[in-house]
């Protein structure tokens, strides 16, 4: 060894007792963070219901949920008793599938933890006195972690001079058996959960009837068919059903720009009125009635009259003595001249001119695009259309299930297919570049885990840390795990922004893309790169050796997994005990609220303050899948029982944290179809493959080559199962089987129930009356809201009609406040509300 190596004695990283101090330090930090966040949530929850009960107060779908007591811990038993049927009825399929993943993980890792404690812990304890790679107690043990990067690396050379100290590798057969057992358990639980989700999904979607369930998205429409009547005739000639309506997407960009400018002027006018009338008092927003969706077309004459009546009456003269606000307008050559004018008069006039322009623009004809939304007269007709090939020419008349009208990103419907492909490939290439960029901070974090790597860069710091065990534990474990966790929180925002720039048609597609992108980051950068390559100085040599001999990356991965056992144990501990309570606390919303509250001026601003935050599955699901994979990879190793225990805690805490948020606190408004489940399953199978490769490498490192070879058949079996899953189960997670669709006007009977033998326990989850989507999508149409939506009036706070000693005060909707189509509710303002924080 070199001099540096001699100064850096290695301890056995496979022995959990060597990292007890690091785990104790991490446990104290995590408990301090988590307990403070949890107690803060319990204290604030009954006092800040506009945040922590926002969905319960503002969503009709949540009205049937049980009320949570205002006591400190009284909400916990009530939340525990909320059933799957109530989750499905209140939050829909997406929430049900998301929570089902956590429930499956709890059952799986509970069984694996018991097996590890009962069988694997005694086996590992019995053999822990034997020499292992990297153990400083064995002077002949090679430094495999460093030797893997050498050109002259040979596996047999590791044992030169140590023939008499070869370890008893009989426990490798136990590792082999449990690799098969745990792989089988995962397949069993995943298949069982998939069958249940498929049956629930088929029953749920087969029983509801919304416009979205009857609508197809038809892309690649040729020029000769780009009219509503021609598309209708074409589809009806195919005899798959009758067409109820057709909406050709046209290039409405000019109209969209006008409406965007109108929204800006409207806010300016509201701010001017607020300056004139004074800042609103402490108020809160509550829904009273559901408005028609902007896609619902009104009577033409009534709609036009409504559009022209866009201000608060004809006479805006007030009796207030307060001077009216002014604004500076620029005019003349190159806008070099300016003068001050009455702000209210100016913005009212600008709004009036814009309204006239918009009314005229709505009557114009716009160029048709190759995209159309076709609503069929029945769900079976829609399902037959999307499951069939409509045209023999490639890329023409491709039918897919349509997103909900409110979920459509209309500005992306104007893009050509080539434009969307260019955007998609550009973002994909940029993400690949980002992946290389992330290697630098991730490799730097990996260096902190190893004191010898710190010594190479900063010897004085390494000496100081070596003499202070607690500080060393904080730097080597606490700091890297915290930074990695913060990266997992921050990076999804970047990928969410990039996904929104790819030109996808719906927010649902964006959500699934964010899940995929964020998982790629967490799995590749946080796990594979962090584990396999370590510090940046080792990245290129290891990569070169891996190209020469693919088996070396397996050995490298297997050894590094053992070396980083304590780090990943602490990572899961921090995620479960330390950071999940902060998700429950909604720390981001709490910390930003004072800033946004200070910036709020108009009634519209105050209404937006109390809108429920949106639950984004792409932000939370990838981290949970990564922890699932980590628990699997470490399940058999000596540290496996600790990893499984903390992983079990993560999924238990995560289940109830996200259950509360999905049901009571956060909104998730798109059409729920449970599309995330196959993505979860495929990524679990990727984790299974990594687990099997790691176990084969670990067994081979103990020179038990027969057992290592017997692990390898699991890899093609996993690949075969993924293929089988894609053929047998995935179509049922995308489409609705025709036998599952219930007869018209009889939602309690479907053909499948007659002789198909559906599971009665699953059948109990069938909705009682109307589903979340049926309630939300009532009256919707596939129309760009900028084409038909009423031109809303400004929201101005005026004197209330009556005071009632702190009771609710309803403002006159006709003369004072008109609802925003973006919020979708009429508004009630209450003075002295519960905004106490």
Residue 173, both tokens: 């057969």
Residue 202 has a pLDDT of 92
- In angstroms, rounded to a whole number, what is the distance separating the alpha carbons of residues 24 and 450? 18
Residue 808 has a pLDDT of 34
Residue 603 has pLDDT above 70, yes or no: yes
Nearest by Cα to 625 from 720, 732, 526, 736: 526
For residue range 731-769, list pLDDT tens digits in order: 999 999 988 887 654 444 444 444 434 444 444 454 445
Instruction: Tell me what the mean pLDDT of segment 297-313 comes to.
Output: 44
Confidence of residue 162 (pLDDT cuts 50, 70, 90): very low
Q: 685 near 186, Cβ under 8 Å?
A: no
Give whole-number Cα distances, 34 to 72, 585, 624, 657, 837, in Å.
Answer: 16, 10, 18, 12, 21
Maximum distance among all Cα pairs of the chain, rounded to whole angstroms: 102
Q: Compare 254 and 13 and report the one with higher pLDDT.
A: 254
Q: Compare 558 and 699 and report the one with higher pLDDT.
A: 699
Neighbours of 401 (CB within 10 A): 21
Residue 561 has a pLDDT of 83
Mark residue 313 as left, alpha or beta (left: phi above 0; alpha: psi -120 to 50; beta: remaining). Answer: left
Instruction: Tell me what the mean pLDDT of segment 40-54 comes to.
Output: 89
Residue 577 has pLDDT above 60, yes or no: yes
CA dihedral for 493, 498, 500, 506, sign (positive or negative): negative
Residue 682, judged by CB atoms within 10 A of its CB (0-12, 13-18, 19+), counts as middle
**Which range is most confident: 137-146, 372-381, 559-568, 755-764?**
372-381
Confidence of residue 526 (pLDDT cuts 50, 70, 90): confident
Residue 227 has pLDDT above 80, yes or no: yes
Residue 135 has pLDDT above 50, yes or no: no
Q: Compare 5 and 51 and report the one with higher pLDDT.
A: 51
Least confident window among 55-69, 404-418, 541-555, 686-700: 541-555
Instruction: Enumerate the β-bridge partners of residue 283.
Output: 831
Instruction: Tell me what the mean pLDDT of segment 50-68 comes to.
Output: 83
Residue 664 has pLDDT above 60, yes or no: yes
Residue 320 has pLDDT above 90, yes or no: no
Q: State the DSSP H helix or E strand holding residue 617, giving kind and residue range, or none if neither.
A: helix 617-634
Residue 488 has a pLDDT of 82
User: What spatial distance separates the first Cα and last Cα of the chain, rounded to whole Å?
Assistant: 61
Render the burial of 277-300: b for 16+ CB within 10 Å, e for the rest.
Answer: eeebeebbbbbeeebbbbbbeeee
Give the domains, in start order, of the chain with CATH numbers.
18-126+175-205+427-539+549-740 (no CATH), 213-252+366-402 (3.30.70.330), 253-365+780-831 (no CATH)
Residue 484, both tokens: 């990695």
Please give the share of the chain, as a percent, with pLDDT higher than 70: 72
Residue 743 has a pLDDT of 61
Instruction: Tell me what the mean pLDDT of segment 594-605 comes to.
Output: 84
Residue 325, judged by CB atoms within 10 A of its CB (0-12, 13-18, 19+), counts as middle
Average pLDDT, the chain: 77
Residue 681 has a pLDDT of 96
- In angstroms, rounded to a whole number, what is the distance separating the alpha carbons of residues 505 and 577? 38
Residue 448 has pLDDT above 70, yes or no: no
Residue 823 has pLDDT above 50, yes or no: no
Instruction: Tell me what the mean pLDDT of segment 284-299 comes to.
Output: 41
Residue 625 has a pLDDT of 95
Instruction: Tell me what the mean pLDDT of segment 576-592 comes to.
Output: 88
Confidence of residue 723 (pLDDT cuts 50, 70, 90): very high
Nearest by Cα to 216 from 89, 375, 326: 375
Residue 778 has a pLDDT of 80
Confidence of residue 222 (pLDDT cuts 50, 70, 90): very high
Residue 600, judged by CB atoms within 10 A of its CB (0-12, 13-18, 19+), counts as middle
Please give the share of the chain, as a percent, with pLDDT higher than 90: 38
Residue 469 has pLDDT above 80, yes or no: no
Cα-Cα-Cα-Cα torsion 37, 40, 46, 50, nearest 10 degrees, comes to: -60
For residue range 773-783, list pLDDT tens digits in order: 777 788 888 99
Residue 475 has a pLDDT of 67
Q: Compare 606 and 155 and report the one with higher pLDDT.
A: 606
CA dihedral for 704, 707, 712, 714, sign (positive or negative): negative
Residue 797 has a pLDDT of 67
Q: What string of DSSP letters covers 740-797?
A: GSBPTT-TT-BHHHHHS---HHHHTTS-SS--HHHHHTTT--SS-HHHHS--PPP---
Residue 47 has pLDDT above 60, yes or no: yes
Instruction: Tell me what the mean pLDDT of segment 333-357 comes to.
Output: 89
Residue 538 has a pLDDT of 56
Least confident window among 73-87, 118-132, 631-645: 118-132
Instruction: Tell me what the mean pLDDT of segment 177-191 comes to.
Output: 95
Q: Compare 254 and 10 and report the one with higher pLDDT.
A: 254
Residue 328 has pLDDT above 70, yes or no: yes
Instruction: Tell me what the mean pLDDT of segment 623-642 comes to.
Output: 93
Residue 185 has a pLDDT of 96
Instruction: Tell me what the mean pLDDT of segment 640-649 comes to.
Output: 94
For residue range 20-41, list pLDDT tens digits in order: 677 888 888 889 999 999 999 9
CA dihedral for 507, 508, 511, 513, sign (positive or negative): negative
CA angle, 699 then 703 then 709, to 5°: 55
For residue range 193-212, list pLDDT tens digits in order: 999 999 999 999 888 888 99
Integer-rounded Cα Rg, in Å, for the chain is 31
**Which range is most confident: 61-65, 152-156, 409-413?**
409-413
Residue 455 has pLDDT above 90, yes or no: no
DSSP code, position 406: G
């Amino acid at each position: 060894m070199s001099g540096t190596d001699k100064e850096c004695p290695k301890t056995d990283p496979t022995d959990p007792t060597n990292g007890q101090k690091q785990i104790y330090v991490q446990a104290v930090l995590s408990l301090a963070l988590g307990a403070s966040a949890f107690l803060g949530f319990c204290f604030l929850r009954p006092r800040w219901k506009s945040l922590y009960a926002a969905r319960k107060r503002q969503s009709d779908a949540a009205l049937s949920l049980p009320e949570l007591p205002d006591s400190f811990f009284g909400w916990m038993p009530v939340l525990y008793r909320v059933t799957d049927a109530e989750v499905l009825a209140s939050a829909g399929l997406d929430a049900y599938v998301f929570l089902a993943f956590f429930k499956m993980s709890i059952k799986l890792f509970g069984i694996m933890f018991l097996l590890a404690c009962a069988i694997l812990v005694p086996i590992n304890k019995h053999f822990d006195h034997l020499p292992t790679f990297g153990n400083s107690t064995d002077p002949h043990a090679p430094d495999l972690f460093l030797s893997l990067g050498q050109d002259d690396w040979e596996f047999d050379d590791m044992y030169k001079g140590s023939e008499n100290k070869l370890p008893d590798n009989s426990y490798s057969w136990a590792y082999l058996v449990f690799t098969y057992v745990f792989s089988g358990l995962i397949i069993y639980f995943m298949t069982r959960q998939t069958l249940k989700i498929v049956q629930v999904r088929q029953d749920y979607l087969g029983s509801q009837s919304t416009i979205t369930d009857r609508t197809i998205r038809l892309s690649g429409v040729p020029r000769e068919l780009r009219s509503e009547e021609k598309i209708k005739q074409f589809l009806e000639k195919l005899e798959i059903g009758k067409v109820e309506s057709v909406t050709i997407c046209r290039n409405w960009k000019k109209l969209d720009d006008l409406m965007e400018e109108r929204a800006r002027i409207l806010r300016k006018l509201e701010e001017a009125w607020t300056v004139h009338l004074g800042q609103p008092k402490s108020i809160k927003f509550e829904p009273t009635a559901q408005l028609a969706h902007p896609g619902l077309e009104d009577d033409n004459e009534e709609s036009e009259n409504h559009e022209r009546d866009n201000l608060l009456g004809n006479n805006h003269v007030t009796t207030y003595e307060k001077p009216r606000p002014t604004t500076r307008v620029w005019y003349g050559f190159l806008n070099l001249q300016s003068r001050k004018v009455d702000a209210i008069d100016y913005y009212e006039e600008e709004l009036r001119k814009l309204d006239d322009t918009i009314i005229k623009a709505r009557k114009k004809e716009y160029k048709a695009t190759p995209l159309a939304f076709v609503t069929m007269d029945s769900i079976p007709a829609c399902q037959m259309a999307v499951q069939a090939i409509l045209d023999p020419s490639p890329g023409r008349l491709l039918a897919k299930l349509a997103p909900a009208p409110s979920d459509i990103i209309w500005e992306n419907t104007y893009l050509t297919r080539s434009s969307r492909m260019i955007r998609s490939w550009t973002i994909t290439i940029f993400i690949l570049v980002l992946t290389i960029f992330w290697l630098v901070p991730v490799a730097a974090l990996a260096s902190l885990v190893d004191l010898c790597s710190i010594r190479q860069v900063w010897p004085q710091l390494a000496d100081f840390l070596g003499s202070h065990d607690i500080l060393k534990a904080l730097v080597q474990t606490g700091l890297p795990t915290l930074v990695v966790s913060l990266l997992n929180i921050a990076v999804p925002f970047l990928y969410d922004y990039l996904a929104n720039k790819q030109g996808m048609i719906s927010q649902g597609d964006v959500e699934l893309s964010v899940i995929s992108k964020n998982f790629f980051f967490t799995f590749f950068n946080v796990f594979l790169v962090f584990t396999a390559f370590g510090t940046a100085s080792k990245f290129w040599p290891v990569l070169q050796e891996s190209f020469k001999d693919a088996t070396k990356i397996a050995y490298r991965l297997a050894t590094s997994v053992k070396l980083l056992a304590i780090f990943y144990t602490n990572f899961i501990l921090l995620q479960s005990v330390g950071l999940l309570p902060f998700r429950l606390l909604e720390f981001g919303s709490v910390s930003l609220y004072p800033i946004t509250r200070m910036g709020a001026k108009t009634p519209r601003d105050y209404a937006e303050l109390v809108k429920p935050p949106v639950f984004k599955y792409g932000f939370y699901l990838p981290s949970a899948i990564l922890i699932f994979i980590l628990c699997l990879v470490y399940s058999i190793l000596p540290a496996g029982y600790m990893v499984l225990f903390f992983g079990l805690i993560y999924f238990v805490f995560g289940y109830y944290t996200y259950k509360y948020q999905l049901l009571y606190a956060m909104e998730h408004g798109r059409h729920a179809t449970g599309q995330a489940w196959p993505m979860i399953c495929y990524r679990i199978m990727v984790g299974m493959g990594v687990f099997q490769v790691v176990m084969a490498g670990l067994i081979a490192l103990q020179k038990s080559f027969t057992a290592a070879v017997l692990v390898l058949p699991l890899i093609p079996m996993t690949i075969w199962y993924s293929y089988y899953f894609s053929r047998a189960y995935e179509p049922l997670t995308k489409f609705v089987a025709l036998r599952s669709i219930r007869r018209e006007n009889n939602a309690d009977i479907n053909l499948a129930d007659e002789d198909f033998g559906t599971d009665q326990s699953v059948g109990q989850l069938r909705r009682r009356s109307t589903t979340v989507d049926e309630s939300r999508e009532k009256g919707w149409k596939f129309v760009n809201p900028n084409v038909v939506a009423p031109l809303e009036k400004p929201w101005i706070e005026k004197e209330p009609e009556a005071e009632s000693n702190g009771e609710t005060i309803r403002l006159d909707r006709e003369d004072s406040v008109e609802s925003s189509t973006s919020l979708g509710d009429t508004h009630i303002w209450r003075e002295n509300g519960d905004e106490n924080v």
